[in-house]
Amino acid sequence: MTTAGTTRSRTAHRALWVLQILLGIFFVVASAAPKFWGDPYAVQLFTDIGAGQWFRYFVGAVELAGGIGLMVPRLAGPAAVGLMALMVGAAYTQAVVLGAPAMVLTPVIVFVLAAVIAWGRRDSIAAWLPER
């Protein structure tokens, strides 16, 4: 016999996994892959940023690691926190470096989704912190 709280908890757990998988696939396929493949838009974007193409590969590697991490139970929380930090950098870059504040919406939305995952997987984050 299950209670309403148990059913809600299972539903929330499943919904969180769906979000993690969807966001993970987004980072791997739609965000990291074009950076590694040298998509002309990605190349031009990082040229406009002025940090060099090595930075495109670095950001792609961070996105790939974060996307995969979202799909690994022990890594989901820390990966979400790392992607949140990446989105802060992306928002700053869009607004300040590229002078396109309207483009901040995407990193803000992704930040919020990653924050939901981080909150839901806070136990996995705590497991990575040193004992006090």
Q: Looking at the domain assignment, is residue 31 inside a domain? A: yes
Residue 124 is encoded by which pair of tokens?
């996995």
How far apart (Å, rounded) are the C-alpha atoms in residues 96 and 90?
10
Q: Looking at the domain assignment, is residue 1 inside a domain? A: no
Q: Looking at the domain assignment, is residue 85 inside a domain? A: yes
| One pLDDT digit (tens) per residue for the chain, 132 residues | 556 667 778 999 999 999 999 999 999 999 999 999 999 999 999 999 999 999 999 999 999 999 999 999 999 999 999 999 999 999 999 999 999 999 999 999 999 999 999 999 999 898 888 887
What residues make up the domain containing 17? 7-126
Q: Looking at the domain assignment, is residue 17 inside a domain? A: yes
Q: Looking at the domain assignment, is residue 95 inside a domain? A: yes
- Widest Cα–Cα separation across the chain: 60
